[in-house]
Amino acid sequence: MRLIFLGAPGAGKGTQAVYLCEKYAIPQISTGDMLRKAVQDGAELGRQAKAIMESGGLVSDDIIIGLMRERLAQPDCGRGYILDGFPRTLAQAAGLDAMLGKDGIQLVLLFDVPEKVILARLTSRRTCSQCGKIFNMISNPPPADLVCPDCGGRIIQRDDDTEATVLNRLRVYEEKTAPLKGYYEKQNKLAILRGDAPLDQIHREMDDLVAPLAR
């Protein structure tokens, strides 16, 4: 089962990926998480990516494709995977197709959410600086002392969740990533889901699309 989740930042890709990953025992592969870990670890890739990420830009295609090639070769990807946040450009999509060859992507799910909903979601998001647990000031507020109940880490607003950066990320998405819709439509692999629908509805629709791939 080889899936791609597309959608603007804050469209809910990560949340929906967790549901399918638990159901089918496959990993969720997020380039954002991988890059943030590289930044945290102080790796060379992290130093290169840090300034770009904080401004809401995109790390170069060559770096991302190389990172993804290493990740997909790991044993836990043998049963399949969900790519969350990759590809983000047409060049990355072409590079992925070339990399996978005959074992290509089977289904691409695009989560469509209005911009005003995304802006509210992301500017309200808070994240544990230690374990990455996510809170929301509206729907799932953190403790008043901003200490993570899971690990004791400090809960913060990430630099890429401020309003100015979110708006820039949405602009970059429209310019660079939205064209992927047409790319995968031509391959007859694209399905569009309403990302602000009730959670149980989204799960039912995903199950209907994904179940045939697991047989």
Active site residues: 13, 88, 125, 158, 169
Q: What are phi and psi of 187, to 5 degrees?
A: -90, 0
Cα 40 to Cα 64, 82, 139, distances in angstroms: 17, 24, 28
The position carrying tokens 């690990």 is 151
Cis peptide before 75 (omega within 30 of 0): no
DSSP 115-156: HHHHHHHHHTEEEETTT--EEETTTBPPPTT-B-TTT-PBEE
Strand partners, 147: 154
Would strands 125-128 and 155-156 be described as parallel, antiparallel, or unpaired? antiparallel
